[in-house]
Chain A
């Protein structure tokens, strides 16, 4: 257990170090996220009331698409440079590879979400930053990145994999997305806590199930 986590942490740190040197992934994700938020604000031509209702959807959709972008890239890099073979040869449990890739994807998603919050506060002129929103980000991004890492490891091996990942990931992520968007809308609208806090256990349950399933089946993804 401890060895697995240690190996996973080293894989994650490896990703972060490579990112710190090349700065290609996070820059692309952030630029995409900013563009997406801008385009949404044009496309929806939001008035004050509609904005309050739509903003959590905009935030989450942007996070998910930015994550898809990042996941595609990081998995493709592992394959192009042949690093995935080295990881598979290494005397570590297979689950550690998934956890490592998940950790770095999770960090990127959190970073994008956190940077978007103040930006959107300015663009949409709404007070969005609060502790509970960050909690929702932590919980929602977990399941999305977990299933995303598993599916990206699969689709990267497929023909047209880059376009296949969103098709495969979005339906599976939708239970999380629906729950977390509803909850975040409740928080943004300033509803009393009882109205949206019931989503938290739902999200936790989905996360636990997804994490368990992903860890259980990952060894079948990378067996050749």
Chain B
């Protein structure tokens, strides 16, 4: 949200812009390093699961991507609410960046789950309640992008996108809670005691796995997701700037 004023041109605006670029670069480097550390821990530090073998290591990415997607979508709701209250376009840009990044992260979540399920469940995909609701979540946010494309007036687009972003969050909550209302899911609940009696492919959390899980969650939520969102916001500002320049050229 910080980069919306990029390129306003005045000398006073230049200085913080440069500082912000530096901060973003530093943050990105930190995120890359943190991803490296997490990857190293996932591959070499955490023990190999006795039953599932190396494929269990996908779990760290699976969890990390889901919860970072969750927080990104939460950011989409907050951005939407803030836009409706303040009518400042920067909040809509923030919400859009959050939701696009969240969509990618949620896709990583589904893809890793699918790759894991192939050896463990012996199928890429099954219409299990939790898998279905995750797919619904992806579709809803894809529809969000479609809705944005369909509205020409920028103010109306921002307003409607904010509303839809708030409404779409219900599918995220549904995905989180579906294992509670549908205990017949085969999706394992690893953290805490799930109600599921049918779950296939759960495993015990040893100390090595627990620590590695904690580290990768922090890396995904605190580094990877915010960095991606920040870059996306900058991209949007640059696009707006290009549009302004084009309009100025035509005049």
How many residues from B make CB contacts under 8 Å with A?
27
| In the bound complex, CA of A214 to CA of B163 (Å) | 9
Interface residues in chain B, defined as those with a beta carbon under 8 Å from any beta carbon in chain A: 84, 129, 132-133, 136, 139-140, 142-143, 146-147, 150-152, 156, 159-160, 162-164, 166-168, 170-171, 174, 181
How many residues from A make CB contacts under 8 Å with B?
31
Q: Which residue of B lies closest to A224 (CB)?
A: B156
| In the bound complex, CA of A210 to CA of B166 (Å) | 11
Contact assessment for A202 and B181 in the assembled complex, using a CB-CB cutoff below 8 Å: yes
Contact assessment for A213 and B166 in the assembled complex, using a CB-CB cutoff below 8 Å: yes
Contact assessment for B163 and A154 in the assembled complex, using a CB-CB cutoff below 8 Å: yes
Q: In whole Å, how far is B185's beta carbon from the nearest beta carbon of chain A?
A: 13
Q: Which of A150, A164, A214 contacts B150 (CB 8 A)?
A: A164
Q: In whole Å, how far is B79's beta carbon from the nearest beta carbon of chain A?
A: 14
- Whether A161 is near chain B, meaning CB under 8 Å from some CB there, is yes
Inter-chain contacts of A209 with B (CB < 8 A):
170
CB pairs A–B below 8 angstroms (18 shown): A151-B167, A154-B164, A155-B150, A157-B156, A161-B150, A164-B146, A164-B147, A167-B143, A167-B146, A168-B147, A171-B136, A171-B139, A171-B142, A172-B143, A175-B136, A178-B133, A217-B166, A221-B163
Contact assessment for B143 and A175 in the assembled complex, using a CB-CB cutoff below 8 Å: no
Inter-chain contacts of A174 with B (CB < 8 A):
136, 139-140, 171
Inter-chain contacts of B163 with A (CB < 8 A):
150, 154, 217, 220-221
Inter-chain contacts of A151 with B (CB < 8 A):
164, 167
Interface residues in chain A, defined as those with a beta carbon under 8 Å from any beta carbon in chain B: 147, 150-151, 154-155, 157-161, 164, 167-168, 170-172, 174-175, 178, 198, 202, 206, 209-210, 213-214, 217, 220-221, 223-224
Q: In whole Å, how far is A27's beta carbon from the nearest beta carbon of chain B?
A: 29
Known interface pairs A154-B163, A157-B156, A164-B147; A175-B84 also in contact (CB < 8 Å): no
Instruction: Give the number of A-B contacts (CB < 8 Å).
Output: 84
Inter-chain contacts of B129 with A (CB < 8 A):
178
Contact assessment for A220 and B147 in the assembled complex, using a CB-CB cutoff below 8 Å: no
Inter-chain contacts of B132 with A (CB < 8 A):
178
Q: In whole Å, how far is B86's beta carbon from the nearest beta carbon of chain A?
A: 13
Q: In whole Å, how far is A134's beta carbon from the nearest beta carbon of chain B?
A: 23
Contact assessment for B170 and A172 in the assembled complex, using a CB-CB cutoff below 8 Å: yes
Contact assessment for A160 and B84 in the assembled complex, using a CB-CB cutoff below 8 Å: no
| In the bound complex, CA of A198 to CA of B180 (Å) | 12
Contact assessment for A158 and B147 in the assembled complex, using a CB-CB cutoff below 8 Å: yes
Contact assessment for B151 and A158 in the assembled complex, using a CB-CB cutoff below 8 Å: yes
Contact assessment for A157 and B151 in the assembled complex, using a CB-CB cutoff below 8 Å: yes
Contact assessment for A220 and B140 in the assembled complex, using a CB-CB cutoff below 8 Å: no
